[in-house]
Amino acid sequence: MEKEENINKNTDQDLDKESHDSKINKTNDNHSEVDKDKDQDQNTPEKLEEKIIKLEDKLARTFAEMENQRRRFEKEKDEAYEYGGFAFAREALNLIDNLERSKQIFENDESLKNTDALKKTLEHFDIIHKDLISVFSKNNIKPIKCLNEKLDPNFHQAMMEIEDNEKEPGTIVQEIQKGFTIKDRLLRPSLVGVAKKTQEKTAKKEKSKENSETK
């Protein structure tokens, strides 16, 4: 009798287990059906087309960024090649400045005036000066033209005004220090003196104007 009860008990447990497993399998089948439906929804032509559009947009943005980086690199490389010696070139201008100062010192030395020694020395200074300008020119470093030109703030820096009734006001009549450019960039501005009308002539002009207005 006890043996039969144990058999029945085990049978009931097996049935419960089968029922539980059946429920689990049914739940899993339901989940699978739901996932399958989701996959079908995501794989509709409309959804696939939307995904393709997004991927194309992302790809286009990536290529655009790569192209921008390439252009920046090319620009930096070109500038480094063309203007890499900018600082050196500006420092090298001191050679010309010192050469011109030395020439002026010799020219103003009373003990050397009208001597053969001065003449030969100045000739050597001129040769060196021409060679320097030639070397600079070959490297696209060129002096700025300024005398008798109108003052241009992009290339000239006015240091003083000089009374001159023969020149239009703002015309450069004196070059204090020579300016230079390197290709299309300003290396150093020209330091200049510009013409202005004399006060006497300006006063006469204003008085003449007042007389004409009174009449």
Q: What is the pLDDT of residues 39-63, one digit of tens each?
A: 555 567 777 778 888 888 888 888 7
Instruction: Say if residue 3's pLDDT is above 90.
Output: no
Domains by residue range for the chain, with CATH: 143-215 (2.30.22.10)
Highest mean pLDDT of the ranges 81-85, 98-102, 211-215? 98-102
Alpha-carbon distance values, 152 to 47, 84, 127, 171, 196 (Å)? 64, 26, 30, 10, 16
pLDDT at 45 (0 to 100):
72
3-state SS, residue 190 = strand
pLDDT at 23 (0 to 100):
53
Give the H/E segment covering residue 214. helix 199-214
The Cα 187–Cα 142 span in angstroms is: 9
The angle subtended at Cα 100 by Cα 95 and Cα 104, nearest 5°, is 150
Q: What is the pLDDT of residues 140-191, one digit of tens each?
A: 889 999 999 999 999 999 999 999 888 889 999 999 999 999 888 899 999 9
Among positive and negative, which fits the CA dihedral 125, 127, 133, 138?
negative
The Cα 108–Cα 100 span in angstroms is: 12
Q: What is the pLDDT of residues 90-144, one digit of tens each?
A: 888 888 889 888 988 988 888 888 888 889 999 999 999 899 889 888 888 899 9
pLDDT at 165 (0 to 100):
86
Instruction: Say if residue 7's pLDDT is above 50.
Output: no
pLDDT at 88 (0 to 100):
83
Looking at this protein, which amino acid is placed at residue 186? L
The Cα 103–Cα 125 span in angstroms is: 7
Closest C-alpha to 141, from 132, 150, 149: 132
